[in-house]
Amino acid sequence: MLELKKENKAVRKTEGQYLTLRRNVIYTTFEDVEDAEWFWSAQEIEKFDKLWRINMTLDGIAEEMRRSKSSVALLGLDRMMQGKVPARDWEIW
C-alpha cells in the first residue's frame, strides 16, 4: 500500500512537471464530414493539380471529378500545404 502511494505521488509530480496542457476533451477534426472521401488515385491527383492550376473553382473541380466539395477542399488544402499546387486566396469557392 505504501509503495502504491509513493508511485502515485511520483506520477503526479511527473505529470505536473511535464504535462502543462491537459487534454480532458479531445476534438477530432473533420470527424463529422460524412461526404469526405480520403483516398485518391495518382491519376485523380494529376487531374486535380491541372484543374487547380487553371484556376477552376472547387465547385467546378468537384463536379468535374465527381467528388464532394468537402473532399476536393481537403485535397486542395493538403496539396497546398505540401507545396504541390500554388496557394489560393481563401475565397476558394
Record the cell numbers describing residue 78, joined without a space.
493538403
Per-residue pLDDT at 15: 67
pLDDT in tens, the chain (93 residues): 777 777 777 777 776 666 666 666 666 667 777 778 888 999 999 999 999 999 999 999 999 999 999 999 999 999 999 999 999 876 655
- Give residue for cell 473553382: 57
Per-residue pLDDT at 76: 93
Q: CB neighbours of 58 closer than 8 A, spacing ≥ 6?
A: 69, 72, 73, 76, 92, 93
